[in-house]
């Protein structure tokens, strides 16, 4: 198990992205208009009940924009975030939205300063968005990565030297692969447990397959999955090693020839 557990990939999936871009603002809009809090209505009322609806729609549009600017890069880049990093990211989204909402209200009223508007927007944002954030995170976290339907393109099919299919696993669960005489040892995760599989095959025989799935050679006898590399370090002898994000896993040696390529992928 990792020291700093990563969020499940379901939280940075397209489904989670669209939930935050569409469902989160929908909840925000519905909460304000249905709950009808007196202080919120005083904040958004610029001249009649319809003005409250109009201003709420504008704020909801701002929230959608913030979610798009935040969640699309997170999903496209498939960021490897720990739980505390994801929490800070989410809190940052709320503050970013509050900042833009306060700017709108300050310009709308004219006689209200930005910082008083910011305080009111932060209060409103946390009051309305905390619940859906927690609900969506819990819902998506329950969909464990190993229980999701894996795309065919994400499956690595290992065949032995005779061409017989021996092992099929998702590319993101592979940690590293090392050469052992006439075999290669595939180290991968199955749920929370680390597994090893010995395949009668050569490093050259699987090199093209590994390149296809983003698992790169880091040393003459090793391939490593950059998705699981936590940091690159030099030991006392000056040798470069890749430390992985799974405990009780030995560091993977990295030769100077492959160091730059690997470091650019982290």
Q: Give the pLDDT band of residue 122 (cuts 50, 70, 90).
A: very high
Predicted confidence (pLDDT) at residue 48 exceeds the cutoff of 90: no
Q: What are phi and psi of 183, to 5 degrees?
A: -125, 165
Average pLDDT over residues 218-226: 94
Q: Give the pLDDT band of residue 183 (cuts 50, 70, 90).
A: very high
Token look-up 């319809």 returns 50
Token look-up 């739980």 returns 83
SS3 labels along 165-232: EEEEEEHHHEEEEEEECCEEEEEEEECCEEEEEEECCCHHHHHHHHHHCCCEEEECCEEECHHHEEEE
pLDDT tens for residues 66-107?
999 999 999 888 777 888 899 999 999 999 999 999 999 999
Edge to edge, the sheet with strand 216-219 lists 193-199, 183-190, 174-180, 222-224, 216-219
Looking at domain 152-264, which CATH architecture does it have? Beta Barrel (2.40)
Q: Give the pLDDT band of residue 143 (cuts 50, 70, 90).
A: low
Q: Give the pLDDT band of residue 9 (cuts 50, 70, 90).
A: confident
Average pLDDT over residues 211-224: 93
User: pLDDT: is 251 or 147 the higher one?
Assistant: 251
Average pLDDT of the chain to the nearest whole number: 87
SS3 assignment, position 78: coil
**How far is CA 159 from its chain centroid?**
31
- Residue 104 pLDDT: 94
- Residue 220 pLDDT: 92
Domain positions in the chain are 9-146, 152-264
Range among 36-45, 135-144, 253-262 with highest mean pLDDT value: 253-262
User: pLDDT: is 175 or 112 the higher one?
Assistant: 175
- Residue 147 pLDDT: 42
């Amino acid at each position: 198990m990792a020291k700093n557990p990563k969020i499940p990939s379901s939280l940075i999936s397209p489904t989670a992205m669209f939930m935050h871009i569409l469902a989160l603002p929908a909840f925000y809009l519905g909460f304000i208009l249905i709950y009808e809090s007196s202080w919120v209505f005083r904040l958004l009322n610029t001249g009649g009940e319809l003005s409250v609806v109009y201003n709420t729609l504008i704020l909801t549009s701002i929230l959608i924009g913030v979610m798009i600017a935040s969640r699309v890069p997170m999903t496209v880049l498939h960021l490897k975030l720990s739980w505390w990093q994801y929490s800070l990211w989410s809190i940052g989204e709320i503050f970013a939205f509050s900042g833009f909402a306060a700017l709108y209200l300050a310009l709308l009223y004219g006689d209200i300063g930005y910082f008083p508007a910011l305080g009111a927007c932060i209060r409103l944002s946390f009051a309305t968005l905390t619940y859906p954030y927690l609900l969506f995170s819990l819902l998506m976290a329950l969909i464990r990565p190993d229980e999701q339907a894996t795309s065919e393109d994400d499956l690595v099919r290992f065949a032995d030297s005779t061409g017989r299919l021996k092992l099929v696993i998702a590319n993101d669960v592979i940690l590293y692969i090392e050469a052992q005489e006439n075999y290669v040892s595939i180290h991968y995760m199955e749920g929370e447990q680390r597994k090893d599989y010995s395949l009668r095959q050569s490093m050259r025989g699987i090199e093209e397959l590994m390149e296809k799935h983003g698992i790169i050679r880091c040393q003459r006898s090793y391939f490593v999955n950059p998705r699981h590399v936590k940091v690159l370090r030099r030991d006392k002898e000056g040798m470069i090693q890749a430390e992985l994000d799974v405990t009780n896993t030995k560091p993977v040696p990295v030769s100077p020839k492959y160091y730059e390529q690997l470091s650019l992928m982290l």
